[in-house]
Each structure stands twice: as structure tokens, then as C-alpha cells.
Amino acid sequence: MSRNRDPDFFAWSDSDLDLDELFEGDYTDNDSVCTDKHSVSVDKKDIYVCPICSREYKTISGFRGHVTKKHDENFKACEHKKGAAKNKKEAAYMYQKKTTNAPTSINEDVKKVFQQAYTNSLRTIISSPIYNIFGQSDQCKVAKCCVDNEIVRKKFEDLMLEVFNGSSGASTSERETIFRKLHEKRLSSAVIEDLTRTINNETTKHSEEAVNNFIQDFVLELVGAIFKSFVELCAQSSKNTSEVISENDSKVLFYISGYLISALLKRYSKVKNPTEKEHKKDVIKSLVNKSSEKTFTEKYSTMIDYKNCGGLKKPSDNFFFMIREFENVVRKSVDHESIHSKSFLKDELREEILDSFMVKHYSCDVFELVEDDNERESFLEDCINLFLTVRGFAITKLINKKTEKSAKNEKKTSASLRDALKSLNTGNLK
């Protein structure tokens, strides 16, 4: 499969598409099975140590689940890898992010969507019949006074930044964390008194009961509006990035998505516990497109149709979209104009992908058979591991081809110089 332009991701020929060779030896009977509850894809060298209680984990998902639930922290697993302290010099050469289009922090995203969410939430309090059953309510009167007040708006923004700090709400556990923090704020007399004082000082004075009722209702509306705005913002950002991915690359991604399903089924068939093995295989089987109806992604299936000898799987639409989102994150995180030995360090890229709002959004649909967030993230981590292996291989092929082309050009230049010298010497002899 040739391409007429320099690809920015894949450089495949038909001979490249036998990915079994890439994973040779990865699914043998000698595979080591992780002692973490949910994962079997483990590099023996990767141990992540909790900086608070020193508990060790063999997967990023296990580490993240522990520090979030047990310590209410959001540590980066790659920064707490066992033996990482020995590699301080290497840390300076970690993969370089692009200076433009870099993924923003959760707090920056909250700031982006807050103004619209704030306005929509006030509008709901003012106009919704739920809050005005018996005519204009006290909450409605307070809301009207807050519409154009910048100081009140900033006060609620600061509150939401504290509530959302480190959590986007894309997964069930993150939403639980956000609402737990919100509940604590709503019950805090210091927080309510501060908000009440600000509202009464900056707007028309209202009774404490009226302001308290407004605050209790408004913050719930506000969190819901931020969630909704997050999805819209990230979906649009994902769409814009995905439009840069060519149709040909999308066909390769679709093929890889199907291959990952086959690879994971093969991997999980080695799990020794029969119950766990069947559960894992059922989850992965649910990623296959079993519908006979043609969908938007059908146009990307030509490579699977061409290569299929009966074993390849056609991925469901959402699984393909999730894999394409992996690619979106990698493109934002890696500067392809200056690839070096640290560009594709898996730990850093894994966490970038795991932290992506849209990846979490798709994974909730893709792994709907999995109720536990830690287990869902473990399945997700296995998908990411395989994807990054394939992607690193693609980049290697691209660099090799460019190197070979450059070497040929240099050889031609050298040959031409020799010919010129020969002709010059011949002329002198004459």
C-alpha cells in the first residue's frame, strides 16, 4: 500500500501488516500473570510505589486506583516508578511535548467552560418551573442579582476549581470524588457564610435563608453544566484533531483496532483462573461489531477485508473511536519533527492517554460490562500498551525508510562527484 506523500504517522506496506510478528513471544504459556487483581499485561521491570504508604503495584491503573481511593491524591505513576531516582539524568530527556495544542490541565478546562456553565445555571434557576412553582422564588431573585456580578462569579469559579481539582468527571469514580467534595463544601458553614457574605455585600441584600437555598441549588446545577460543557469542549477538540488524520491512516487505525481485539482475546486465554478468564474474554468479545447494519466506520474496513483470512475482528464504532483518540493524544504529546530515543516512553504516554477526557468517555461505553472503575482502567491500560507497541513500530518503519532514502541520495551525490572528477581527469589527459 503506497502513499504519495510523506506520512506523519504510518508508513505501511502490505508486508508490514502481519502484526503477529511484532508480538511474537508475547502470548506464550510462559507469560507472567500480574498479581494485581485485574491485569495480565505486565512488564516485570515496572513497579510503581505509593509515596505515602510504600505499597507496590505492577500496573499504572493499580497505582492510580490506590492513591486516589486510599489517599485522595492524583500522583503520576511515572514519577513514582521503582528505580526512577537512578535515572535523574534521563528525566531531563523525557519525551518533548509540542508547544502548541498541548493537553491542558483539568483546572484550565474548568476555566474555559465556566462562564458559559455559570450563565446557563443561573438561567435555569431563574426560568425553570421547578424552582418557581408558586411564582418567582427567593432563589430566582438571588440568581437575577448574580447575573452580571463579576466578584460573585469569581467566588463560584474558585469553589468549582477546588471541587474539580484533579478530576474531570469522565469516569464514575471521578464523579463520585467530585460530588463528595461538593457535598463537603455544601455542608461547610465557613464556605456557606463566605458565599452568603459575598452575595449580600455585592448585590441586593437577601435573607440568609434565601441565599443559602440559592447556593445549595445553584452549585448542583453548576456542576452538571460543567460536566455537559466538558463533553462538548472535548468532543469538539477531538473532532478537530481527528480531521487531521487522513482517511488512509484511519483505515490502518481501524485495522489495528480489530487486531487489538484478537490480540487481547489471545492474551486473556492464558489467564489461569477459569472464571476470570471467561469474564475477560466476554468483555473483549463485546468490542466486536456484530451488527449487519453499515455505519460511518464501514468505509475504513477495506484493509481488514483485504487481509482477513477468518481471524480478524471488525471493531465496534466506539472502540475504533477510542483507539483513534489514543492517536489524537499521541499526536498532541509527541513532536514528530524531533523524534529521539525518549519520544515514545510508554509510562508517560500511557498516563497522557489514560488522563484524556474523551478516552475515559469512550471507555465507559466500550467497557460497559465492567462496573468497577479500576478494572475498567486495567482493560484500558492493556489496550494502550498494545497500541503504543504498534505505534512505535510504525514510527520505526517511517524513520528507517527516511534513513534509507537519505542514504541513497548521499550515495548518488557521491557517485556523481566521482564521475565529475573522472571526466575532469580525462579532459586534462587530452
Structure-block grid coordinates of residue 280: 475477560
**C-alpha gyration radius of the chain:** 27
CA 264, chain centre distance (Å):
20
Predicted confidence at residue 219, as pLDDT, reads: 95
- Give the Cα separation of 8 and 395 in Å (integer): 9
**Angle ∠(274,275,279) on CA atoms, nearest 5:** 115
Predicted confidence at residue 121, as pLDDT, reads: 95
Predicted confidence at residue 14, as pLDDT, reads: 43
pLDDT tens digit at each of 430 positions of the chain: 334 443 444 444 444 445 555 444 333 333 333 344 444 444 446 788 888 888 888 877 778 778 877 777 777 777 787 766 444 444 444 434 433 333 345 678 888 889 999 999 999 999 999 998 888 999 999 999 999 999 999 999 999 999 988 677 777 778 888 899 999 999 999 999 999 999 999 998 899 999 999 999 999 999 999 988 888 877 777 777 666 788 888 888 898 899 899 899 999 999 999 999 999 999 999 999 887 777 778 888 877 776 666 667 889 999 999 999 998 888 887 766 665 555 556 777 888 888 888 888 888 889 988 888 888 888 999 999 899 888 877 666 666 666 666 666 666 555 555 565 556 555 554 4
Pair 383, 323: CB distance under 8 Å: yes
Q: What is the 3-state secondary structure (H, E, C) of the chain?
A: CCCCCCCCCCCCCHHHHCCCCCCCCCCCCCCCCCCCCCCCCCCCCCCEECCCCCCEECCHHHHHHHHHHHHCCCCCHHHHECCHHHHHHHHCCCCCCCCCCCCCCHHHHHHHHHHHHHHHHHHHHHHCHHHCCCCCCHHHHHHHHHCCCHHHHHHHHHHHHHHHCCCCCCCHHHHHHHHHHHHHHHHCHHHHHHHHHHHHHHCCCCCHHHHHHHHHHHHHHHHHHHHHHHHHHHHHHHHHHHCCCCHHHHHHHHHHHHHHHHHHHHHHCCCCCHHHHHHHHHHHHCCECCCCCCCHHHHHCHHHHHHCCCCCCCECHHHHHHHHHHHHHHHHHCCHHHCCCCCCCHHHHHHHHHCCHHHHHHHHHHCCCCCCHHHHHHHHHHHHHHHHHHHHHHHHHHHHHHHHHHHHHHHHHHHHHHHHHHHHHHHHHC
Structure-block grid coordinates of residue 371: 462496573
Pair 48, 60: CB distance under 8 Å: yes
Q: What is the pTM of this model?
A: 0.65
